[in-house]
């Protein structure tokens, strides 16, 4: 019996217009609630942005944000992990010295941060994904927050090369993972979506076998391997499809809602 539904957002629950069929979801969410099936959002994105997609129901939805570093229930942060500040400074220095064409957002618990001299194009993109975003003179030595993730915009053709170079240089101190479309996230080792979901499942007394999860990007792989009912989106990466037991219709076909409705 299904006891929880877990969805990634970009490329999975959200369509290419960065939205979803809200009326259909409302009907499905009501059915989920009546059957005491939990709905969980698991994303690499910021909590403030994620909950904005669910104005009527966010208080009853659990959020695994920033690729598992932060977990929220009922608008309350119930678990957090962050990088040591010295490592944050080392990562910024390395990126500026070796990949000066990479744009970066430093993601904290209270807000996310971007340098003032960043291109207006990237600032515009960043504002779409980060509802709490501050411009600062320099990211280094900026210690007003605890930092949970780096979000990088890289040349698409260099995605794997930059990801590999980061992993090789910093080793076990970080995990560099591509979420597709020229994006690379630097996350805390072991604090991925599956780790966050395992924390919630233990808290709720739910078995992984009773969870259905959906994803499209490489940062969803651990989560899909963890659950009993895993779905790669038709538009997902080859790695995600290899890690999943099932295939869902694409995000532009409301594939997640199609599959959930069949379960219900």
Position of tokens 């979420």?
Answer: 179
List Cβ neighbours of 148 (8 Å cut-off, separation of 6 or more): 66, 69, 70, 80, 81, 82, 83, 107, 108, 109, 187, 188
Q: Is 8 noted as a catalytic residue in this protein?
A: yes
**Tokens, residue 92:** 């910024």
User: Which DSSP symbol is given to 14?
Assistant: B
Supply the angle between the helices 159-170 and 85-98 in degrees, to the nearest 10: 140
Catalytic residue (one of 8, 103, 185, 195): 8
Burial of 132 (0-12, 13-18, 19+ CB in 10 A): middle
Using CA of residue 133, residue 136, residue 138, residue 144, what is the dihedral sign? negative
Residue 146 φ then ψ, to 5°: -105, 135
Query: Quick one: which H or E segment has residue 239?
Result: helix 238-243
User: What positions carry a catalytic annotation?
Assistant: 8
């Amino acid at each position: 019996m299904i006891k929880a539904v877990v969805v990634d957002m970009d490329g999975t629950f959200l369509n290419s217009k960065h939205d979803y069929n809200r009326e259909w979801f409302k009907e499905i969410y009501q059915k989920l609630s009546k059957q005491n099936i939990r709905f969980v959002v698991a994303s690499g994105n910021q909590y403030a942005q994620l909950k904005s997609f669910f104005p009527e129901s966010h208080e009853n939805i659990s959020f695994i944000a920033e690729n598992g570093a932060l977990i929220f229930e009922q608008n309350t942060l119930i678990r957090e992990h962050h990088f040591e500040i010295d490592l944050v400074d080392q990562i910024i220095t390395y990126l500026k010295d070796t990949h000066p064409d990479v744009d970066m957002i430093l993601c904290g618990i209270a807000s996310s941060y971007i340098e003032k001299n960043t291109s207006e194009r990237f600032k515009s993109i960043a504002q779409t994904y980060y509802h709490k975003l501050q411009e600062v003179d320099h990211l280094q030595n900026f210690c007003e927050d605890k930092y949970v993730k780096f979000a990088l915009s890289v040349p698409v053709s260099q995605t794997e090369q930059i990801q590999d170079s980061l992993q090789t240089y910093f080793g076990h101190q970080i995990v560099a993972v591509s979420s597709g479309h020229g994006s690379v996230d630097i996350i805390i080792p072991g604090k991925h979506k599956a780790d966050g979901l395992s924390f919630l499942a233990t808290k709720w007394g739910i078995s992984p076998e009773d969870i259905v999860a959906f994803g499209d990007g490489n940062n969803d792989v651990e989560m899909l391997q963890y659950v009993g009912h895993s779905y790669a989106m038709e538009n997902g990466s080859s790695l995600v499809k290899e890690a999943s037991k099932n295939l869902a219709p694409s995000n532009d076909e409301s594939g997640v809602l199609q599959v959930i409705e069949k379960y219900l």
